[in-house]
A and B are shown apart, each in its own frame.
Chain A
């Protein structure tokens, strides 16, 4: 196993009776920020518990921060800061004492834990609220307090489970900036599970995607995205004619109603579009570059796996009865994915 990886697993299997929660996971998480994606039931929680050394694995092996997950769970947990998705704060306790206690539970001296609690609460923006009981905190403040609990011992790896869950725009922005700063200025590693693709894309440069206990994709987002750059054109009056002309001109075009996406070949593509519009008598009301986002990547992955989904939200938040569509032939030949 490589010492360069923060987390590495080899053929990691965790099963609960007949149910396989993690199926031969070969994970390589490098230092920096990594987003963990996957629908409900994909195995994210089981993976977290495995990384924290809280559950025994059925087979396979894993190293977290150079410690074996089978034998050194306590050491691993002392080096990791964990920010749970759900409430984990005592509502009757003041924030400062809750954070200090979470430090004491790691083995920090009480006076040092208290001093450090002041520092981290200031860092997460709760300096003025630190003597308030946690039941008076808003959701955003509670999330920040949970982050402070995770950061008190300056962990090498921070695991944030849905850190922006239930936050308004301002708090979400602050949380993402803080996580960004922990990684980029603090030099710490982050594993962030989120249902919100924009959040993951904003903080993480790498992703790991799980589906039904299997590792579907991992790596740099930019490297995983090999989706062509496109020009999005909003046309009025003759969109079909414009599409025809662009096709005749050798450009790859996709159209839904009055919106066309034209594959960007080079800078002359814009001139070609304008010229084609002029010739076909079609108005162009808006024209802009379209960069593929993580959302596009995610949807494309799910389509490749044979699921017809309209957005990540549909799959990740609601876990709907997905419409199963035919996978491409080359993927069908790989055999069943589950």
Chain B
């Protein structure tokens, strides 16, 4: 072989190759009786009857769309999965639970409908969208912030990132032109949209539904819309905070259970501990540890409801910003550590 045609490099030297003898393998031991051995050779079964499979490589000459189409596909995968097959497989228990929670969080609409339908004025007045009722729909602790919203958030964030880590599906994302920011943002928006349907969507249904049912005029709308808007903003605070804490927990885990139970523990546990301490020392400052209470405090300020907390609302604002910052930091740091080659 001429030097020019050699396509080889060994230890940094062009044209060099690996010379010398190959290794010898002893095929037989000595005196181990294998001289008389016979081999039983299995005959192959000629199963040629059946499907004819012709493997032909088919090229594809299409064009790939831009970054926003890729991001849309992530969003679509997660949200459509809740309603149809072929997208993210949300389990039936999750879907049924969310439907129950959705119906449960619309109980004020049903009661308002009952009041309007029966014509009982007290009932209608009791459940129509007042300042307190709008606040209660989003931030009332019992029943929605005990039974509905935290549980829904826990069900949604449970496997959102942790299952990508567990199943290695992060490799499917990151070996494609999807960057980690897009991945994180789209996952966040997916959870936030689904949670918004439950929190802000039902608020809007309640408000608009009652307007339609009671046949109120524009003056009523002008009076109550700012309250509805403030409640909706408070609802988005709740959605953002639950999503960021939940996804941070999901990103540090490899299963559904831990993030879900940890989110419930953080939301309800901090509330419970703060409640006990405030009862003992008659001081509301410990509520700064509770994400729910910080947002409730902000909501009370925004909607002009008498505050149930002693400390200034700005402290709650700072606390909620700190909680979200820490959560988002953990989320981005953990997503950055997700591997493509192995997980």
Which A positions have Cβ atoms within 8 angstroms of B? 26, 45, 48-49, 52, 54, 73-75, 77-78, 80, 82, 84-94, 97, 100-102, 104-110, 112, 116, 119, 123, 125, 149, 152-154, 161, 177-178, 181-182, 185-186, 206, 215-220, 223-228, 230, 232, 234, 236, 254, 256-259, 261, 290, 292-293, 296-297, 299-301, 303-304, 331, 334
* Interchain CA distance A45-B65 in the complex, whole Å: 29
**Do B177 and A300 have beta carbons less than 8 Å apart?**
no
**Do B6 and A300 have beta carbons less than 8 Å apart?**
no
**Do A78 and B22 have beta carbons less than 8 Å apart?**
no
Q: Does B130 contact A (CB under 8 A)?
A: no
**Do A123 and B9 have beta carbons less than 8 Å apart?**
no
Contact with A along B157-178 (1 / 0, CB 8 A): 0000001000111111111111
Which partner residue on chain A sits nearest B57 by CB separation? A186
**Do B89 and A218 have beta carbons less than 8 Å apart?**
no
Query: Chain B residues near A226 (CB, 8 Å)?
Result: 1, 17-19
Query: Chain B residues near A292 (CB, 8 Å)?
Result: 22
**Do A104 and B23 have beta carbons less than 8 Å apart?**
no
CB distance from A220 to the nearest CB of B (A): 5
**Do B168 and A84 have beta carbons less than 8 Å apart?**
yes
Q: Does B96 contact A (CB under 8 A)?
A: no
* Interchain CA distance A216-B28 in the complex, whole Å: 34
Which partner residue on chain B sits nearest A207 by CB separation? B8
Query: Chain B residues near A290 (CB, 8 Å)?
Result: 22
Count of residues in B whose CB is under 8 Å from the partner chain: 67
**Do A106 and B64 have beta carbons less than 8 Å apart?**
yes
Which partner residue on chain A sits nearest B81 by CB separation? A93
* Interchain CA distance A217-B21 in the complex, whole Å: 18
**Do B21 and A85 have beta carbons less than 8 Å apart?**
no
**Do A217 and B177 have beta carbons less than 8 Å apart?**
no
**Do A227 and B64 have beta carbons less than 8 Å apart?**
no
CB distance from A64 to the nearest CB of B (A): 13
Which of B70-78, B198-206, B295-303, B325-333 lies at the binding interface? B70-78
**Do A86 and B342 have beta carbons less than 8 Å apart?**
yes
**Do B22 and A216 have beta carbons less than 8 Å apart?**
no
Query: Chain B residues near A52 (CB, 8 Å)?
Result: 175, 340
**Do B10 and A216 have beta carbons less than 8 Å apart?**
yes
**Do B176 and A86 have beta carbons less than 8 Å apart?**
no
**Do B21 and A256 have beta carbons less than 8 Å apart?**
no
**Do B340 and A54 have beta carbons less than 8 Å apart?**
yes
Which partner residue on chain A sits nearest B23 by CB separation? A299
**Do B176 and A106 have beta carbons less than 8 Å apart?**
yes
**Do A88 and B10 have beta carbons less than 8 Å apart?**
no
Which partner residue on chain A sits nearest B170 by CB separation? A88
Query: Chain A residues near B33 (CB, 8 Å)?
Result: none
**Do A257 and B26 have beta carbons less than 8 Å apart?**
yes
Q: Given B17, B62, B86, which contacts A112 in the complex, CB threshold below 8 Å?
A: B62
**Do A90 and B167 have beta carbons less than 8 Å apart?**
yes
**Do B57 and A102 have beta carbons less than 8 Å apart?**
no
Q: Does B343 contact A (CB under 8 A)?
A: yes
Q: Given A78-B177, A227-B21, A297-B18, are A87 and B167 neighbors across the interface (CB < 8 Å)?
A: yes
Which partner residue on chain A sits nearest B51 by CB separation? A128
**Do B11 and A181 have beta carbons less than 8 Å apart?**
no
* Interchain CA distance A300-B19 in the complex, whole Å: 8
Q: A94-B85, A101-B73, A261-B21 are in contact. List 13 more A-B contacts (CB 8 A).
A: A86-B343, A88-B170, A89-B172, A104-B70, A119-B58, A161-B341, A185-B57, A206-B7, A226-B18, A227-B21, A261-B24, A297-B18, A300-B20
Query: Chain A residues near B1 (CB, 8 Å)?
Result: 223, 226
Contact with A along B1-40 (1 / 0, CB 8 A): 1000111111110000111111111111110000100000
